[in-house]
Structure 1
């Protein structure tokens, strides 16, 4: 961060690299003591990567966030003189104050979901959750913008404009040298398109800066990174479903947008010519409205197959959340592809939360098949994280999907066992999955875990898992491998979302081959892939849900 006088830079450092390496080596030689911080599902010694190097990791938060072995060593602050580059330790008076949290505010306030102090005075901008939480939801769906004049005072100035009340408000920051708060909203009715507004806390006026058709934020990958801001300009990453990320400068007063860097202009042109995306909207049998981004395959004389992925479809859609299913490439090769947005909010009931995916897929297949846009008998599905769970749930409760691919796990007894030392994990699992230990809630386990529903899963499944998770799905993956219904690949040193370029490419290519094989009866002639197809030819769907892979050839 820049020093107040503008002549120094302040930064913090944790444990030194040498200290971390020594601690890792000591554990290797003396043995790793198992406690609640140890990732039992992953390797114990340097099984992940941090900043490009193999590293031992530990759980840090109350769910699955991780960090290096010595992440809890207190930070030390350094100061760099900008003119000379000389570096020294910061004195106690020079260490930045700790950012305020909700507990520092007057107790009569509803706990804000986000708060940003003004850099020059005592005001604090707040995002306050709505007071009317919908029954069965983890938290309110919408929020309101407000400013606290002093953190010791309960007095609030609330924004009364409709654009900052009952909205989904994300990024929040003060405009430099002004009384304006800049805030970002996400519009679920427009497939999670983002917009940025400015609110003058003195006059009360709200003005739009940019209304986008996709993402306008500080990062394509990380949802909590805001645009960079000066007194006159926002610098943002902008992206749409079929337009790759680019760096834009946006004038705060006029909203004028100027591209600063657009490295993938050629890809944008290719996608526009071969597989442009369009937003579609539909309702399920309960009248719930879903949105999605649809990459339609060009007509070849008969309705094409359809691939769907379910979770969140923000920004440039290289392959849904986690970027593993190349939607545009599928469409280019004759398989229409659809990324479906989950309904907003987190539903506490596991069945309700996951069955929305089945309902969304069944209803959109019926809609697109009604006019011959897709072939309802050739539907594939894939997903990561919540999307993986929804894919398995759909396979367990519907015959609409004929082939599937997942990149994450669903709940299993092994998942519980390997994380059960952590009290926060057990609490969250009971709250959001309604699961205790398998012997405590056996009925719930039988209802939701694929390990107890194998007889209901009929489609073949491709598993492409990170090393840190794959052990937790062996309860159902290994039985499927034994009966030639699954194919399992594990990527070393990968966590929940794969990040190594070679691994991403391998997942892309294998998913493309997998769905072309099952939905089009197509095999790539590349000799290097002969072994892959030899394995897949031995596989077969189970029971009445099986499909005829050769049907497309018969039609041709």
Structure 2
């Protein structure tokens, strides 16, 4: 049964005032009065999108549609009739967020149980220590076994505590008051206790580093110069599990069995436990890096049964049992994994049957009785909460966080497909301006590097796709192909895999081929001006931009969010741990330079010939990586401009910064691709700089400048 129904104007209006209940005990903030949507009048889409429409989107979970490996933000009630989640909305004027705990019922009722707290960002284990990312932390509320209370994480004054609130409404209260974050939690089977996980050792590490600083920090693998000279917290600090009595607050250390229960609740890998004791999980087919995983089931008699069907191998996103002992799983498949399919598998039947097939993205699915609750979105539909029946795949919308989009005219979206010169499948979404007419030609902006779900701002959310379209530009939103080393024989470890990716810049050439093939596919339609193509990117996408500017100089302007992977930067500016890793992957040390190896990729080595306007909008803990390339570009008089955002990481999380990057990117491409400028007085200094860049470029091309 097809589930690829587009949720546009009419269905956005399912959430009306009569369905929305604000719990009287939920703490209110006047600036957050629109955390939940109010009633929206019916009618056609009448206006174009603006930057604040995107910045102020109400989010559930991580914003990016391709973030299918992230933890689920959803918690289903024991009876399967309700689901709880945290709603987050940015306020760029205050440079802050509004957050609230929300419950949506199957009957359409929505209630706000708690409001307040701070947005938390996640860190990851990097080479030499923990690294901040800027990516929103994802916390799923959990219901007590009797369904009467909901426990949830909330961050205040820089520390994440555990809170509980009556599910029917009432005053929320914190049940932990520690100095370190509560990282995970679970209810006991009887609902009288809560298991919590934290890392008190992080305080002891802070004290040790503070003491070390009195005699000077040792510069070693702990230090990432881009973040700062202070040694980072080490990877693998011990997790401490405690048991808290919900009624009295009394605490004790968790037993080994209780700690294991808590650890299992933190596992992100798909795992399903049936009521009769059967288990289902994913197991790699081989020891090769990134080996596809196959569904396996441990039957009631303890036997492990692999699912023999090829449909059970690779890209499985979730596993669930129904009451009859049938296993359901959600899988990505089709051209470059663009489809999502829900399958049902009866263990004595070798062929799983499809229940739902859709090109929409389904995220964070959790089981509630005989249905899944999922976050659902597509190219022109922002994320909403859906209920999907396991029996027949019938889907219904339960909560639409952003019904205002029913009144916004968006550009049309068409999916294009191609293969690159390595035979790898890829796709791109071509977005044309609203009201585009046959015969019109547009400048083109390329946005990278995932194109899943709602087309917001590309990976990292800095390049506003629909805002570009509203201002007369076509957009090609790219989905990167599979890694070029995937399936390559003889690779035994991830180091082997990364060496194969980096050898001869193999991955970069593969991505460049996909990029150029996608652009040629659009060119063949005769709808773009080939002399007015811009390109953008963050992280891996930024690497693709720089590689393309050097090796395929067809672009009229570029904007990047990270820069630059140059020889000296790799071995000096990112620290000892990063340099050691890059040498292990085959790059030469600083003392034995290899210009021929670096020439296809180094901005610094190619600075004299780029001759393209380049905008850099960088975080303050990454801008140091750009200095080698930026300085070389500046010395050659190239049109380059850098902006550094304070308190940011790899992903920019502050609302004011996100709005600023949106608007500057819009101004940048409107200026260089369309010759347009915003008349606002506050922006005239930027146009004076850009006019000077253009004059210098013109003089250089005429041979009148060095």
Map 1:178-327 onto structure 2 (within 5 A): 179-187=325-333, 189=335, 192-201=338-347, 203-204=349-350, 206-218=352-364, 227-270=365-408, 273-284=409-420, 288-297=424-433, 298-299=435-436, 302-327=440-465
Question: Which of structure 1's runs of 4+ aligned residues deviate more than 6 A?
Answer: 16-21, 98-101, 119-122, 541-548
**Aligned-residue offset at 1:517:** 0.7
Map 1:414-425 onto structure 2 (within 5 A): 414-422=569-577
How big is each residue's C-alpha offset from its partner over 1:438-487, in whole Å with a ceiling of 9 and x where there is no partner?
A: 34461323343222222342211101111121111211112223414210
**Residue 160 of structure 1 corresponds to which residue in structure 2?**
308
Contiguous gaps of at least 5 residues in structure 2: 1-185, 486-499
- In structure 2, distance between residues paired with 1:5 and 1:209: 35
DSSP 3-state at the match of 1:339: strand
Range with greater deviation from structure 2 (436-445 or 258-267): 436-445
1:95 and 2:258 correspond: yes
Alpha carbons of structure 1 residues 125 and 243: separation in structure 2 relative to 1, 3 Å: same
**Aligned-residue offset at 1:24:** 6.9
Contact 2:209 2:217 in 1 (8 A): no
**Aligned-residue offset at 1:258:** 2.3
**Aligned-residue offset at 1:257:** 1.9
Contact 2:484 2:507 in 1 (8 A): yes
Which is bigger in relative contact order (C-alpha 8 A, separation at least 6)?
2
- In structure 2, distance between residues paired with 1:123 and 1:177: 12
- In structure 2, distance between residues paired with 1:344 and 1:268: 35
**Aligned-residue offset at 1:85:** 5.9
Contact 1:199 1:205 in 2 (8 A): yes
- In structure 1, distance between residues paired with 2:561 and 2:406: 27
How big is each residue's C-alpha offset from its partner over 1:104-138, in whole Å with a ceiling of 9 and x where there is no partner?
A: xxxxxxxxx956373777755343445597xxxx5
**Aligned-residue offset at 1:174:** 3.8
DSSP 3-state at the match of 1:95: helix
TM-score (norm 2): 0.63
Contact 2:271 2:282 in 1 (8 A): no
**Residue 67 of structure 1 corresponds to which residue in structure 2?**
none
DSSP 3-state at the match of 2:693: coil
Alpha carbons of structure 1 residues 366 and 174: separation in structure 2 relative to 1, 3 Å: closer
Contact 1:458 1:545 in 2 (8 A): no
**Residue 53 of structure 1 corresponds to which residue in structure 2?**
none
1:363 and 2:517 correspond: yes
**Residue 543 of structure 2 corresponds to which residue in structure 1?**
389
- In structure 2, distance between residues paired with 1:255 and 1:13: 39
Contact 2:469 2:475 in 1 (8 A): yes
1:15 and 2:200 correspond: yes
Alpha carbons of structure 1 residues 58 and 13: separation in structure 2 relative to 1, 3 Å: closer
**Residue 526 of structure 1 corresponds to which residue in structure 2?**
680
**Residue 241 of structure 2 corresponds to which residue in structure 1?**
77
**Residue 465 of structure 1 corresponds to which residue in structure 2?**
618
Alpha carbons of structure 1 residues 294 and 533: separation in structure 2 relative to 1, 3 Å: same
Contact 1:485 1:541 in 2 (8 A): no
C-alpha RMSD of the superposition: 3.5
How many pairs were matched up?
493
Contact 1:309 1:320 in 2 (8 A): yes
Contact 2:356 2:392 in 1 (8 A): no
**Residue 538 of structure 1 corresponds to which residue in structure 2?**
692
DSSP 3-state at the match of 1:408: coil
Contact 1:365 1:374 in 2 (8 A): no
Q: Which has the higher strand share?
A: 2
**Residue 354 of structure 1 corresponds to which residue in structure 2?**
508
Alpha carbons of structure 1 residues 475 and 10: separation in structure 2 relative to 1, 3 Å: same
**Aligned-residue offset at 1:231:** 3.5
TM-score (norm 1): 0.78
**Aligned-residue offset at 1:403:** 0.5
1:127 and 2:264 correspond: no
Contact 1:355 1:394 in 2 (8 A): no
**Aligned-residue offset at 1:93:** 4.6
